[in-house]
A and B are shown apart, each in its own frame.
Chain A
Amino acid sequence: QDPLTATMLATAPPQEQKQMLGERLFPLISQMFPDLAGKITGMLLEIDNSELLHMLESQESLEAKVKEAVAVLQAHQAKESAT
């Protein structure tokens, strides 16, 4: 599959752009957190498209953001189950 570029994204409507980015991010996130991939991808899709494109190119920045999102999600779930 060809890498997703800003030019390719720009040709699609905004909602479709997020779907396109999600399709690329989801498999990568699934490798790290199979059970949380859908939720984590959804959380990350709120980030600017330009930053998401960068994360697709940089495993390191993607991992950092994914871990951040997982930590936030788990803290939230722990808080919910405590109440």
Chain B
Amino acid sequence: PAFVPGQNVYAAEFVPSFQKS
């Protein structure tokens, strides 16, 4: 399937800074 930005289920999960150690 064509790659559509914003629809890529394999994109890395975003971790907000307040959850980082």
* Chain A residues near B (Cβ < 8 Å): 19, 22-23, 25-27, 37-39, 41-48, 65, 68-69, 72-73, 76
* Chain B residues near A (Cβ < 8 Å): 5-9, 11-17
In the bound complex, do residue A42 and residue B7 qualify as a contact, i.e. CB atoms below 8 Å apart? Answer: no
Partner of A43, one of B8, B15, B17: B8
A interface secondary structure, majority: helix
In the assembled complex, the Cα of A72 lies from the Cα of B13 at a distance in Å of 15
In the bound complex, do residue A22 and residue B16 qualify as a contact, i.e. CB atoms below 8 Å apart? Answer: yes
In the bound complex, do residue B17 and residue A46 qualify as a contact, i.e. CB atoms below 8 Å apart? Answer: no
In the bound complex, do residue B17 and residue A47 qualify as a contact, i.e. CB atoms below 8 Å apart? Answer: no
In the assembled complex, the Cα of A51 lies from the Cα of B9 at a distance in Å of 19
Kindly provide the distance from the CB of B7 to the nearest chain A CB, expressed in whole angstroms: 4
